[in-house]
Amino acid sequence: MGSCCSVQASNAYPSSAPNHANASSRAHINQPVSQGMGTRPSTNASNHSAANHHGPQDLTRHPTMILKIPIWASAPSRTWTRHEIDEERAAFFDTRVSGRPEIWQAIRAALEVIWSGGDADDSDGGIATAQVILTAAGITVPSGNLAGNLYDSFGALYPLPPEIVSDPTDLVEPSAKAQNDVENESEEGREEFDEESLRRRRENKGKGVLRAEDLINIQVKLSYEGERPLKIAISREDNVRLVNRRIFEESGLASPKRIKLAYMGRILEENKTLGAQAFNEKDVLNAFVLD
C-alpha cells in the first residue's frame, strides 16, 4: 500500500530537479541489471561450449589420422633388450583390467602386424594392415600416433606407452625375433606349395577319403561391419593358408584382396593349423580383409 501511495505522489507533483535526480538514479540502478541480463546467455553458452568440447563424444568424432610409429630412445636410467621388450608387451596386455577385452585384442593384433614388419609385399611395414584391423574394431586414433590415446566407439580411452608400440632406437641386443622370422621365411620357402597340392597330399594319406571325424565346423567373422559369422567346414589338418582359401570360396571374395586370420588378439601363422595355435572350435575367428 505504501508503495502505491508513493507512486501516486510522484505523479501528482512532477516538479523539477529532484525528479530528474530520481529518474537518473533509477536509470543508473536499472542499467547494471540490464547489462547483467545481457551477459548471462553468453556465459552459459560459453560454459556449454566448453563442456561439449571436452566431452568424450567429440573425441570419437575426430577422424583417425595416418598412423605413425613412434621413434624413441631409452632413458639414461633404463635400457631395453629384446627379451625385456617382449616380456613388457606380454605383461601389458595380460594385465589390462579396464576397457573392453575385444578392443585390447584388436589393438594387440594390429601391433603384432607392426612388430613383425608386415608381410613381404607390404611397403609400409604393415601400417595399412594395422589400420584395417583398428578400423574394423571401431578404434580411432585422433592424433595418428599409436604411442598415445586410442578410443573405442563409445569414447573409452586406451592409452599405449611407446615401448608397447615400437622398439627403441638404442635396443641393447639384436632382435632374436627378426632372426627367427628370417629362418621361418626360409623354411616356408622350402616347403611352399599351393592349396590344391595340400588337398591332394591330405587325400592321398587317407586313400582319397576324408573322414567325417577329421572335419570341424568353424565360424569366421569378416571385418565387414554388421556381417554375420561365416560357417565353414574344414579339416583339422588344414593350415591357416588353406582355411583362408576356403573363406575366399565361401564369401565370394576375389583377388587382390587378402585375409589375415586373428584369434584372441593374435595374428595366426599361415603355415600352421588352427589346432597347433590353441584354437577352440567353439570360438569365433576374426578375418581381416585387406586390399
Is the pLDDT score of 23 beyond 60?
no
The tens digit of pLDDT for each residue in 255-282 reads 767 888 988 878 888 889 999 988 999 9
**In the numeric block, which cell numbers belong to residue 92?**
601389458
Instruction: Show the 3-state SS of the chain.
Output: CHHHHHHHHHHHCCCHHHHHHHHHHHHHHHHHHHHHHHHHHHHHHHHHHHHHHHCHHHHHHCCCCCCECCCCCCCCCCCCCHHHHHHHHHHHHHCCCCCCHHHHHHHHHHHHHHHHCCCCCCCCCCHHHHHHHHHHCCCECCCCECCCEEECCCCCEEECCHHHHCCCCCCCCCCHHHHHHHHHHHHHHHHCCCHHHHHHHHHHHCCCCCCHHHEEEEEEEECCCCCCCEEEEEECCCEHHHHHHHHHHHHCCCCCCEEEEEECCEECCCCCECHHHCCCCCCEEEEEEEC
Using pLDDT thresholds of 50, 70 and 90, give the confidence band for residue 62. low
- Each residue of 230-240: b (16+ CB within 10 Å) or e? bebebbeebbb
State how far the Cα of 266 lies from the Cα of 62, in Å rounded to an integer. 27
Using pLDDT thresholds of 50, 70 and 90, give the confidence band for residue 202. low
Is the pLDDT score of 130 beyond 90?
yes
State the pairing for strand pair 215-222/230-235.
Answer: antiparallel
Choice between 268 and 19, residue whose per-residue pLDDT is larger: 268
Using pLDDT thresholds of 50, 70 and 90, give the confidence band for residue 133. very high
Would you give the end-to-end CA distance of the chain in angstroms? Answer: 86
Q: Cβ distance 286 to 221 under 8 Å?
A: yes
Tell me what pLDDT residue 47 has. 40
Tell me what pLDDT residue 170 has. 92
Q: Cβ distance 285 to 221 under 8 Å?
A: yes
Tell me what pLDDT residue 210 has. 57
Tell me what pLDDT residue 138 has. 93
Average pLDDT over residues 115-140: 90
The tens digit of pLDDT for each residue in 70-124 reads 999 998 888 899 999 999 999 999 888 889 999 999 999 999 999 999 888 888 8
Give 192's Cβ-side CA count (13 Å radius).
7
State how far the Cα of 263 lies from the Cα of 272, in Å rounded to an integer. 13
**In the numeric block, which cell numbers belong to residue 99?**
576397457
State how far the Cα of 93 lies from the Cα of 191, in Å rounded to an integer. 33
From residue 213, alpha-carbon distances to 103, 141, 235 in Å are: 35, 45, 9
Range name among 33-37, 132-136, 244-248 with the lowest pLDDT average: 33-37
